[in-house]
Each structure stands twice: as C-alpha cells, then as structure tokens.
Chain A
Amino acid sequence: MAHHKTKILAMIGMLILMDGCSWFKKKGRGNQAAPRKPKSADIRSGDDGEPGLSHRANVRFKKIFLLRNDYARALQLPPNQLCVEAGKDCLENYNIVLGGVDANLMLYERIEKPVPTSPIAIERVALQACARRVDLDFGGGSPLIFTRIPASSTNFTDAHKDAVQRLYRNFLQRDPTDGDYAGHEKLLDSVSSMVSGNEIGKTWAKSACWMVATQLESVLY
C-alpha cells in the first residue's frame, strides 16, 4: 500500500514540476506571451496603424481561374472577354505561367510559385480588361465605375474620388487610404502633362484601373 502511495506522490510531483516548467517558459517570453493584437482590422481598414510583420506568410499568387473571376467581378465584364488576342481569350495564351494546366501538353501540375513572366502576363491581362471597362464607361450608356469623369479636367474631382473608391472596393474589398487617393491624384497630374485635352480623363481612368488591378494586394493573397 505504502508503495502505491509513494508512486502516486511521485507522479503528482512530476506533474507539478512540468507545470512549473511551462510557467517559467511562458514567463521567459516576456511580452511575447501576451496575446497579439489582431492586425486584420488594420489591414482591412487601411489606416495608418503599423501592421504586424508576418514571419510565416504563406502568400500565393492568383492562378488563372481565380484571377479571371476576380477581374471579371471587379470590372463587371464577362469572364471570357477580359482580353482577346489572336481571336481568343488571351488568358489561354499564358495559361501555364498563370498557374493553369494543359492536358494536351500532358502538363497536369500547376506552378505554385510565380515564374518571371507571371507578373508580366497579369499586367497585360489587366491592361486590356481595364481598357475594355473604360471604353464601355466612356462610351455612353450606364457607366459602372468611371461615372461623370470629365474628359479634359486636370483637377482631381469628386468623380475621380468616387471612381477610385469603386476600384478599391471592387478589387480589394476595402476603401482607399488617404495615401491611395494621393497616388491617384498624382497620376492625374502626370497624365495631364503628357496627353492632349480630351484624352486626359480616359487615359487616367485606364492607368488608375491598371494600378489597382496589378497591386500586390490584388494579385497575391
């Protein structure tokens, strides 16, 4: 009986020791043991709060189907008409570098990491898709993103701001920060000095749309 009691006491002692060790371990971490402030709110709202640096980031690039769907939804265009080259959906031309597969070529494993031409292909798709949206919005009818943008104004008007806000909400699901607005205003300044009067609004719209569509936040996740 005494033998069993000794055993039980020894086990209880070990449990206390283990718990004590883990307490010291936690204590030794100092502030890091405290729950970290969730940063997602900062990231979503885009405020000036310093976001936490992720050391274990598992960032991926949007593969062809995700990219196509996101662009189509953001620009409210049919998914197979974002860009057309040589008479067909241009995304198909860059299928492999955009992480697609091709059974005809017996390539069944998609690339997980971008290759050097992946960002270039995406910039190309974005440029054509944005140009298509801008042409539709400036062509009369019912504009969806670029409404009432003056054709030749060099001032960053409320119409410009509204368009920027729609771009950010559609592509990034957040509102633009003050810094984002400043970037688009600077773009308008530059465009005004580079193109002739009636082309200012349209050129700004295409470039502004392309900037948002190809931002890191838009193509990586």
Chain B
Amino acid sequence: MSRSKKNSKNHKRSGLDRREVLTQGLILAMGPLLWSPRRLLAAETATDDRRFLIVMHGSGGASIIDSFMALSSNEVRSAGGDANQLNCYEPAQLVSFSDSPLRAVNYQGTIAVLGNLKVQGAQDAFVRKHKQDMMVVTTESTSVTHTTAQKRSVTGNEAWSGRTIQEVVAASYGKGLPLANLLLGQGGFVEHGIDSSLPGFAKGILVNEPATWSKGLSSAYGIDEAPSEEVMAVAREIRDQMLDAPSAFYRTFKESPVMRDWIRARSDTRDLFERSKLAAGLDISSGNANAIELMRVFPDYTWDPYEAQAILACMAITQGTTCTVTLGPSFTVVSKGGLSETRNPPIGFDFSHASHRGVQSLMWTRMLSITDRMIGFLKSKEYPRGGSYWDRSLAYFATDFGRSKIRPGAADVFASGHHLNNGVLVISPMANGNKVLGGIDPKTALTYGFDPASGRPDTGRKTEEKDLFAGLLQAMNINTSAVHGAPDMRAMRRR
C-alpha cells in the first residue's frame, strides 16, 4: 500500500470515535495469524488420528557396534579380520538371541577417570522385553562436528527445505495442540529448522529447566502473593485498552511484527494456556494428580534433568498438548554424590574419548532405562480412539555419529574418536520391528546399507541421512513427496 493511500485511510478514520479506532487497531494488529491458538483450538477435534514422535537423542555418538550390532572376536577372526585391532567383544560379553538378529552387550568394568566408577551394562533385558518393536537402521552420516551432525540427524541433512523431523511431525499432527513440538533436549537436536513456510504452531518450544518450566505457561500460577484472578483480569483489560492502546509508543510502532507477536501471545496464547490449565496440568509436583504416578516412575527427577524431561514428555503426550518431544542426556555432569556416583559423564557419549566401552555401556544403560519406563507408561495409557499411546508412538534414537572402529592391542579400556559410519535404533509398534536393516563387515566393523523395498542387506548401499529421515516419517504415515530424491523406505515400516 502506498504512503498516500495510507494517509487517506488514516484521514477517513479521524471521523470515528477515538476508542473505536484504537480498538480496531489492536484487533488488526492481532490479526488472523499463523499460530492463532483460538483458530487452532477450533480445528482440534478434526485431527484425533495422531502419531507421536519421541526423539531420544544420544549426545556425543551412541555407537551401534557397542550395542545392537556388536561383533564378537570369533566372528572377526573367522572373517579374516584382526580381532586385536578391531572394536569387538569377547563372546562372554555379548548376548545373541535365537529369535532376533539384535545383539546386546553386557559390559562390566570400571571407568578410571570417573573415580573408578563401576559399570554394569545389561542391554539384554531391554532387548528381550522390547525386541518386537526394535529396528536398527545402519547409517552413514556427513559430519563429525557435534552440533552440525546433531542438526543433520533431525533434518536429514536439510532434506525437507530445512525442516526438522519434529517440525514435520508437528505440522502434520500438531494442529490444535498448544505445545505441539516440545524440545527438552540440547544442542543441534533442538535447533529450529530454517523453513520459513513452517506453520507457527509447529515450531519447537524450548525448555531449559524441565522440573520447573511449566509454571512459565501461566502469568500467576503458584504465586501466593498474586492478586485474585478477577483482579488480574481487570488489570489486564485496563492495561491493554487504556494504557497501551492510546500510548504514543503503541501508535508509533504498531506495524512492528514483534509488537504484533507480543500482543497476540499475551492475549490469545495466554488465554488458551490458562483455559487449558497447562501450567497446573504439566506441573511436576505432588499437588498435580497427573504427575504423581510419573514422579514414582522417575523418582530422581529433582537432581537428574533427564528424568524430569521424561516426566514432562509423558505428561505432555498423554494430556493432549504435544505430538512430538525431544529429550536426552546432556553434555553436563549429573551425579547425586561424588565422582564415583556419576550418572551422566561430562560430554555424555563423547566421554568415550577417555574411556570408550565403559562410557558407551553407561550411557546406553541410562538411555534404555528411561526409554523402558516411558514405554511402560505410554502402554498403560489409553488413547481416546482406542489402543494405547504407545501404539501410536515412535522413538528415534538420534545421535551425532558413530565412533572409531579400532582399538590398540586387544585392549578392553581404550579411547575412541568420531566416525561417520554407524546405525540408529528405532523403537515403535509402527516400525519393522525385530530387524537389523543392513549389515556389518566383520573385517572392518563398518556397517552397510540395505534395499529400501525389501530390507535385504546390500554391501553396495549406504543409508544416507535423507533416507533415514524419509523412512521415519513414512513409518509415521506422513507423505514425504517433499523430500527430494528420497526413496520409499518400505523396509522401515511394519505395514
């Protein structure tokens, strides 16, 4: 609109009542906008056939050859490899299953640099319990820089115009949800995508303090000294109508997008949050009936942020506020006591630089323990359309990259570096469970790909980031025609 047209429009308005002009200005400023929660709420009932994505990230490099595709020294020797130089396990440390291609590592040892922390790995119990839903997909990533690799693990290396997998799922299943895409984790796994056409409601909401964050969804929840709701409502109305609307500041800058966003958020979004009683519903406290059961399931939530994340994630999914959550262990030390009680080493999986096997075992055990409890909870909660929440969930173990495949002189304690070659774990009733898609060369410990249609191992193929990205979305019944060049990853779907 030209300036002269705007001037004439303003001139015409001068005949109106002043308050009317200001009120109209505010309404225009709020406008029909992308993430207008009221609009979304109206559409909520239309999308009740939802799927839920749980991005369970292993920061620092969760190695697949130290878990579900581990090699035994006998296999390496039989293939003509050097078992003393390759990261392979003694048969006593490995568990194989007659009814599954998955492996499990039950490593026992100590981590000297963590005050001789004892490690008691027991991956076999998890595999026995969940193997029907477990699918391992071999991968070849494109970066060994942590944050870059993490970001690519959730964007498929910018496969869908730079949208993250969480954003795609939120855009598909999150319409009508107040917190569609909840980002509880860290690093590149919780970065926003770069697709400016993404609907606002699908953009991730970052949570830095999971144990207390939900209070911030209300202006006054839990504040004892606050005036009553009625008084606050009056104060809000006077502030908006009598102080802000006529102010020179508002009238000068009302065309600013930031100001429009601000006004919309403090009115529409706040109204929706308050109406939904989100702050109370997601509060991790004994006063919240929804939280009590989960506080028993994850009792260490007060000092272990990963457990607090898990509580918030489970509540958000089962209370109908969220369709994708991202959580995982951080790069920060977590310990209830001293060094020898470390639950999360510094830099997480990446502490494998100091002590590979002990750290891989410790971190895998940590992640599988949280996952097992989350699955148990989601299985116990019925989805409104029937079945459980777990029946509609997919947990993707995103990780930066793999770890180096070598070791010196048959050592049991050694250090490892970053490596592009790896594989990821996917757990879901919607995935092609109890499968390893691809294979591993016992002479090199390098994984290789598979035929996307049949799932047959193919030594000439590598699963690229975009292939994995597309396959995960297809398993969640999302059309991936926007992913350029990605094949139909039929082998990753159960049906």
State the A residues within 8 Å of B (CB). 32, 39, 42-43, 46, 50-55, 57-61, 85-86, 92-97, 102, 104-107, 113-121, 123-124, 127-128, 131, 135, 177, 179-180, 182-183, 186-187, 190-191, 194-195, 203, 206-208, 210-212, 214-217, 219-220
Let me know if B239 and A57 touch, CB within 8 A.
Answer: no
Let me know if B215 and A187 touch, CB within 8 A.
Answer: no
Q: Known contacts A61-B258, A85-B212; is A116 also within 8 Å of B248 by CB?
A: no
Classify the secondary structure of B's interface with A.
Answer: helix
Q: Known contacts A105-B186, A119-B265, A179-B246; is A85 also within 8 Å of B238 by CB?
A: no
Please name the residue on chain A nearest to B185 by beta carbon: A105
Q: How far is the CA of A180 from the CA of B235 in the complex (A)?
A: 13
Query: Size band of the B side of the interface?
Result: 35 or more
Let me know if A42 and B248 touch, CB within 8 A.
Answer: yes
Q: Known contacts A57-B255, A116-B269; is A216 also within 8 Å of B235 by CB?
A: no
Q: How far is the CA of A54 from the CA of B206 in the complex (A)?
A: 32
**Does B401 reach chain A (CB closer than 8 Å)?**
no
Q: Which residues of A contact B247 (CB under 8 A)?
A: 46, 215-217
Q: Known contacts A104-B332, A120-B266, A187-B235; is A114 also within 8 Å of B261 by CB?
A: yes
A131, A206, A212, A220: the one within 8 Å of B262 (CB): A220
The 5 lowest CB-CB distance pairs between A and B, nearest first, are A183-B242, A59-B256, A106-B187, A119-B266, A123-B219
Q: How far is the CA of A53 from the CA of B246 in the complex (A)?
A: 13
Q: Known contacts A116-B35, A120-B266; is A107 also within 8 Å of B218 by CB?
A: no
A interface footprint on B236-277 (CB within 8 Å = 1, 0 otherwise): 001100111011111111111111011101100110010000
**Does B231 reach chain A (CB closer than 8 Å)?**
yes
**Does B126 reach chain A (CB closer than 8 Å)?**
no
Q: How far is the CB of A129 from chain B (nearest CB, A)?
A: 11
Q: How far is the CA of A139 from the CA of B468 in the complex (A)?
A: 63
**Which one of B42-50, B222-230, B456-464 contacts A?**
B222-230
Provide a sorted-by-A list of 26 A–B residue pairs whose CB atoms are within 8 angstroms.
A39-B252, A51-B248, A54-B252, A54-B256, A55-B255, A57-B256, A61-B262, A85-B212, A93-B209, A96-B206, A106-B146, A114-B261, A116-B37, A116-B269, A117-B265, A118-B262, A120-B217, A120-B265, A121-B216, A124-B218, A127-B219, A180-B242, A195-B227, A208-B235, A210-B232, A216-B250
Given A43-B248, A57-B253, 20 new contacts (CB under 8 A):
A46-B248, A53-B6, A53-B10, A61-B262, A93-B212, A97-B206, A113-B258, A114-B261, A115-B265, A117-B216, A119-B266, A120-B265, A124-B219, A131-B223, A195-B228, A207-B231, A212-B243, A216-B263, A219-B262, A220-B253
Q: How far is the CA of A213 from the CA of B244 in the complex (A)?
A: 12
Let me know if A117 and B225 touch, CB within 8 A.
Answer: no
A58, A93, A195, A220: the one within 8 Å of B213 (CB): A93
Q: How far is the CA of A210 from the CA of B228 in the complex (A)?
A: 13
Q: Which residues of B contact A46 (CB under 8 A)?
A: 247-248
Q: Which of B147, B218, B250, B258 has the most CB of A within 10 A?
A: B258
For chain B residues 300-337, which have a beta carbon within 8 Å of chain A?
330-332
B190, B225, B252, B270: the one within 8 Å of A53 (CB): B252
Please name the residue on chain A nearest to B249 by beta carbon: A217
**Does B495 reach chain A (CB closer than 8 Å)?**
no
Q: How far is the CA of A135 from the CA of B224 in the complex (A)?
A: 13
Q: Which residues of A contact B188 (CB under 8 A)?
A: 106
Q: Which residues of B contact A186 (CB under 8 A)?
A: 238, 242
**Does B220 reach chain A (CB closer than 8 Å)?**
yes
Q: How far is the CB of B245 from chain A (nearest CB, A)?
A: 9
Q: How far is the CB of B233 from chain A (nearest CB, A)?
A: 10
B146, B234, B246, B262: the one within 8 Å of A187 (CB): B234
